[in-house]
């Protein structure tokens, strides 16, 4: 059963530390999305890629967040330095060309102390 895989599932870190979250999209899906979920803001788009090219990262704080796709099987979201306000659940989703449908991973829960 194909699924989007995210690591780590849970991460607790201290303010100022670097955090890297990883995502393996479903094989054959050419679009990859990063969303952040918080109680206050709900689901917010951070960045997305099509065929590994970044198309929109306007939702990310550029000074501390970066998103990349080193290859078709790996997407990364990095926060450096992390801050308590970054505490949230970060979801990766992928989708096949033209379908409009997104398949979500189980999320990475980040707590920054």
| Contact residues for other proteins, defined by CB under 8 A | 4, 30-31, 33, 35, 42-43, 45, 48, 50, 56, 91, 93, 95-107
Q: Closer CB to other proteins, residue 81 or residue 103?
A: 103
Q: Closer CB to other proteins, residue 70 or residue 98?
A: 98
How many other C-beta atoms can be found within 10 angstroms of the C-beta atom of residue 109?
15
Give the integer Cα–Cα distance in Å for 103 and 89.
16
Q: Closer CB to other proteins, residue 12 or residue 15?
A: 12
Which element (helix H / strand E) includes 33? strand 31-38
- ∠ CA 67-5-34, nearest 5°, is 30
Instruction: State in angstroms the smallest separation of the CB of 16 from other proteins.
Output: 27
């Amino acid at each position: 059963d194909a699924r989007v895989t995210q690591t780590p599932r849970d991460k607790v870190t201290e303010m100022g530390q670097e955090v890297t979250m990883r995502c393996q999209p479903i094989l054959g899906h050419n679009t990859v999305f990063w969303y952040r979920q918080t109680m206050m803001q709900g689901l917010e788009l951070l960045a997305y890629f099509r065929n590994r090219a970044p198309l929109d990262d306007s939702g990310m704080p550029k000074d501390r967040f970066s998103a990349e796709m080193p290859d078709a099987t790996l997407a990364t979201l990095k926060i450096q330095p992390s801050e308590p306000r970054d505490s949230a659940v970060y979801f990766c989703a992928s989708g096949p060309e033209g379908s409009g449908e997104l398949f979500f991973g189980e999320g990475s829960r980040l707590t920054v102390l």
